[in-house]
Structure 1
Amino acid sequence: MPFRSFALGGFEGSTHRRRDRRRVDTIASSAHDLHAARDYALMRELGIGATREALRWHLIEPAEGRYDWSSVLPILRAARAHGVEVVWDVCHWGVPEGLDVMSTAFPARAARLARAFARLLREEGAPAAGWVPMNEMSFWAWAGGDMGHFEPWLEGQGDALKRQLFHGHLAVVEALRAAGERAPVIVAEPLINVVPEPGDPEAARLAAGHNEGSFAIVDWLLAADRSSVDVVGFNHYPHNQWVWDGPQIWWDDGRFRRLASLLADAHRRFRKPLMLAETGAEEPRGDAWMGYVAEEVARALDAGVPVEGVCIYPIMDYAGWDNDRHVPCGPLRRDAVQHRHLRPGQAAAVRALNAIPARRRDARAA
């Protein structure tokens, strides 16, 4: 097991600018930066020893080449104090003011940030557990390159943005390796299943293309440099299966595909270790969803699919990055005055998920 626990936490870290040009900062809105010690203490009560965190690049680099680490040091130090190792997102959709994601400067700027942060981690004695160079590149390409929902606010240019993020990922990996970093490089890409309405061949063609396109950037990276991805991470939520140009499909729909099957297909395609880089559900479905995920991951492991971990993301309530609404999710409940508490049902589901490796060892030994 590459992480300190099979279950990982993950604190929502979006920092992009929306269509209305408003900057999102979900770490600030959840006050995770102020209450990281409490958040990690609750995680440790659940047996979780690893988490995903995001660098807030717009705060760290207010002017090109000048780094201010004050936004990340409290989180880094709280994690170290509580024995929590961190998988760091270098770029979680947000970039500093004045930096155009589509510019030739973007990959090099991201690489310099990663190299400088790796140096800080060494100085702090807090090695990374892993790296996500560019968060959810396929979704960013769609939202920011095809639909104009957020920066860089383009339409019909998703492939061009995806190519730019591809170059950014490779540049960050090169910088990290040159800095002596050996922690695994992880991609965090959507795992989806889009189906057509029966008897609609055009919808069937478009749905198949959309499914295939969700894997494209991983294909590109592995073709360019197979060592640029150590773990293929997938983000999978209840809404990740739907009818083309239609509604979401649920467990009772015959076209719904079980998670174990989707993971097996991905492993056959990429031949790399896998993880769920994000999963979870809003309340009141959180308990049932995490129970389903645990069952499916155990089934995948039994079939020989190398699933290295499951990240509950977000592990704590947050303010929705597209509309600021309170999103209740994960085993950590956050109230209006920023108190944190465990949700008993989700806590039990997460403990069961975390116990999967030990249960499998016991079963083999019996």
Structure 2
Amino acid sequence: MQPLKQLENFPIKQFQRDLIQWFEREQRDLPWRKDKDPYKIWVSEVMLQQTRVDTVIPYFNRFIEKFPTIDALAEADEEEVLKAWEGLGYYSRVRNLQTAVREVKEKYGGVVPKTRKEISKLKGVGPYTAGAILSIAYDVPEHAVDGNVMRVLSRILTIWDDIAKASSRKVFEQAVTALISHENPSYFNQALMELGALICTPTSPSCLLCPVREHCLGFQEGVHEQLPVKTKKQKVKRVQLLVAVLRDEKGRLAIHKRPKEGLLANLWEFPTVETDPFQAPNDRLTFELKERYDLHVNLEAKPFTKIEHVFSHLIWNMDVYEGTVQGNVDEAKCDLKLVTEDELTEYAFPVSHQRIWKAYQDHRT
């Protein structure tokens, strides 16, 4: 790969100094910055994928309180870990984290590896997470390139490569490798991320407050608002679903565990089926509950709530019905679990079904 021409006369040392000094003054007080524990930094980086900092903070504090060390997370029951993650979404992240942590315990004696080659072999640890842990926890001058960093550097160095393309990442990794401070790689990488979060935002960047404005080629050329180049995502798919909140004759609630693989794997939910254009919703739900779970049910005529839940790649439109189960339920045969309202809190549910439960409680009061 050809070196970036923009770097030929770029004032790298001054850029490093201005960026790091700004970070020393302005960095946010975040719980994973209290020390350089690689485990805590790892947990925070996994949580911060696809999730806002303000949302992550209380989750991080509770998670670390419950699983304060690599050993604690490695030895924890998956159901307990999923419950602690409940509400953050993208649950494969925490499953991969626990798998990787167990490998660190078994293969590396509980010490997070200090080289990119070793740490990148751990499940769920991609190039960005590897670089973030190595640079922030161990002061290794490794690139940590995410969307924030690509946006910042596309403006500073006027890089016109499409950041939505996987091939473009190499260009930005090359840029960070050339720019990174070898004296303080931890602060350098964190400062780039912080700059993207606070100043060099996706829209309406606060250029007049930027500590490295005088080094920003995009600002000097007046093209900072046109960068980064990013093609639009594909259109999301809509799925129409029917959900049943069912009680048996003892007042217990029927819940179902999702498959071990795929979307929201191993989480619990209320029985859910897709709609059929050739069947009325109530008839469709009644039929599928009998076919799948051998349940005879009485459903209310109309849904008590309608919920839209948006994923990155699809949207669930959910019509939710209240109902009762007739006769005894054989849990072992029908792949359902019957739980009391108090017991329900012990199971990890996706956000969509947490919203269903809240709507059901409001409906009943």
Q: Highest relative contact order (Cα 8 Å, sep 6+), 1 or 2?
A: 1
Greater helix proportion: 2
Q: TM-score, normalised by structure 2?
A: 0.23
Q: TM-score, normalised by structure 1?
A: 0.23
**Pair member with larger Rg:** 2
